[in-house]
Amino acid sequence: MKVLTGAQMADLDRQAIEGLGIPSLVLMESAGRVVVEELGARFSDIARKKIVIVIGKGNNGGDGLVVARRLLDLGASVHVHALCSPKEFSAETRQQADILNKLGFPIQHCTKSKEMSALAQALGNTDIVIDAIFGTGFRGAARELAAEAIELINLSSAFVCAIDIPSGVEADTGHVLGPAVCADLTVTFELPKLGLLLYPGRQYVGELVVRPIGYPRKLIDQYASTMTLVGADWVRERLPPREPYSHKGDYGKVLVVAGSRGYTGAAALAAEAALRAGAGLVYLAVPESLLPAMEAKLTEVIKLGLPDIDGALASAALPKILEMLEDKDVLVVGPGLGRHPQTVKTVQRLVAQASKPLVLDADGLNALGAEAEKLLVQRTAPTVLTPHPGELSRLIAKSVIEIESDRVGVARETAKQLHSVLVLKGVPTVTATPDGEVFLNSTGNSGLASGGSGDVLTGCLGGLLAQGLDSLTASVCAVYAHGRAADLMKPELGERGMIASDVLRALPAALREFE
C-alpha cells in the first residue's frame, strides 16, 4: 500500500477535486460515513452512546460535522464543540454547519479559554470522543484553545476516535511538538500518512484503519509515491514457490561468517535462521576454537573452521573464506564477530573482494567504520546492510537522535550514499534502496527488542537471497516474516519474555502463511 506525506495527500486532494471535478463535499460526506461505520462496528449499541465531537475550523472539522449528523440519525446523543467562531470555518465546514443549524442542532462555540468549562463538563460525562480539530495539514505545536482541548480529551476516560490523524501529530514526519490527542482508533482516508507510521506520532494513533472515500482507483494507482507500507499481500506475491520435484541444491547455498569467543549464539541464530527461511545448504564459518561449541549447538548447519586469534577471526582467514565462497550463492558477515583488529581488517578486505551477494550486519558493519563508502561503492554484487540506529550512527557519523527523528530520510540518503539496500531496524523497520524507494514494515512487537533478534533477521534475509530473490525483495520479505514470527509468538509468550530463539522457532510458521 502506498504511503503519502500530508503534503502529498493535499496534492492528491487537489487532483481529485480540481482536476477530476469531484466535489469536496462529496468526499467529506464519504469520510464522515466511514468513521461512523467504524464506530458502529465497535459499538453495537452506538444509538445509546453519549458522544462529544471536538472540531476545528478546517475541513477536518467539516468531517466531524458529517459524523455528528449521521450519528444523530442513528439516535445517538451528540454534542459538538467548535474551537472557533462560526465565521472562521472553512467554506465546506461552514456548509456542514449550516445543514446542522437548519436541522435545529446547536453547535457550542468556544473562542476563549474561560468558555472551555462546557467542553470539560461534556467530556466528563461521555462514552465516545471524536477528535476533528486538526487534519493532515497541521504543522508545529497545538496552542491556546486547541492545546487546552487536547489536554481535556486526554484526561477523559472515554473511547477516543481521531478523524484522519490525531490532532497535534504532524502527518509528514510523525513529530509531536506539543500536546497531541491520544486516540484509541484513528480512521484515515484512502492511504496511510507517513506520520501515522513513525514514532512518536504512531503512539498516539491507537488502532489504525485505512478506508477509501471515493477517490478513483486510477488516480490512486497513478499517483507517484516512493513509499510503501508492506502487508501480507506484498510478500505473498513475491516469495518463490517450492516445487514438489526439487532438491537442496535448488534452494541455494549460504556462507555465514560469524562468531567470536562469548558470541557463539549470534552465529548459531543467524545460521539456523537461514535454514529456517528455506535455504538448501547453510555453511557456518567460525574461528577454529569455536567449532566444538558450534558442533554442540547446531545439527543441520555445516560447520567450518577458520584461522583464529584469541577466539576471533585472524587475518589469515581471508583466503580461506574466499575459497569457501566460490561455490556459494550468498555471503552473510557479522553476527557476533567481535572487534579484534585482525577481524576488522579481514572484514574490510572481504567486503571489497567478495563477488557474491552480501548481507552485512552487527560487527560486520562496525568493521567498516570510516571506510564504509570507499569499500561499498566498489562492489559489483548486491549488498544489504542491516544496522540498528546505534550501528548506523557509527557508520555515517550522525547521532541516534538525528537518525530517529528522520528514519525515512536518513535511510534513503544512506542507501544512496553507500550503494546498498539499507534495512534500518527499529519501529518501524525501514528498508531503503539507492534509487530512493522506501518500504515500511507493518509487523513485529517489542518482543523483538531482545539480544539475538537481529541475528535471526540477518540469517532469514540470507536464506531468502539464496533462493533467488533480489536484494530488495529478500530484505522486505525477511523483515516482514521476522516481525510476523514475533507476532505469532505473542499470544503464547507475551512480549516481555520473548527471546530470539522463540522468534526463530516461529519463523517457519510465519513463512508457511505464504505457501
| Per-position DSSP letters for 97-160, written without gaps between them | HHHHHHTT---EE--SGGGGHHHHHHHTT-SEEEEES--TT--S---HHHHHHHHHHHH--SEE
Q: What's this model's pTM, rounded to 2 decimal places?
A: 0.94
Q: Give dist(CA 239, CA 144) in Å, integer.
A: 52
Cα dihedral sign for 404, 409, 415, 418?
negative
Q: Give dist(CA 456, CA 301) in Å, integer.
A: 14
Q: Give dist(CA 446, CA 80) in Å, integer.
A: 38
pLDDT in the model for residue 277: 98
Q: Give dist(CA 384, CA 433) in Å, integer.
A: 9
Contact residues for 104 (Cβ-Cβ < 8 A; gap 6+): none
Q: Which residues of the chain have pLDDT under 50?
A: none
| Domains recognised in the chain with CATH numbers | 6-224 (3.40.50.10260), 234-512 (3.40.1190.20)
Backbone angles phi, psi at 86, to 5 degrees: -55, -35
SS3 340: coil
Q: How far is CA 170 from CA 145, 180, 196, 260, 411, in A?
A: 18, 10, 9, 45, 20
| Per-position DSSP letters for 240-283, written without gaps between them | PPPPSS--GGGG-EEEEE---TT-HHHHHHHHHHHHHTT-SEEE
160 within 8 A of 133, measured Cβ to Cβ: no
Q: Give dist(CA 353, CA 355) in Å, integer.
A: 6
Burial of 441 (0-12, 13-18, 19+ CB in 10 A): buried
Contact residues for 451 (Cβ-Cβ < 8 A; gap 6+): 499, 500
Contact residues for 241 (Cβ-Cβ < 8 A; gap 6+): 515
172: cell is 509528514
183 within 8 A of 131, measured Cβ to Cβ: yes
Report the candidate in 234, 225, 277, 282 with the shortest Cα–Cα distance to residue 476. Answer: 234
173 within 8 A of 195, measured Cβ to Cβ: yes
SS3 432: strand
Looking only at the bridges linking them, the beta strands covering 312-313 and 308-309 are antiparallel
pLDDT in the model for residue 114: 87
Q: Give dist(CA 336, CA 261) in Å, integer.
A: 9
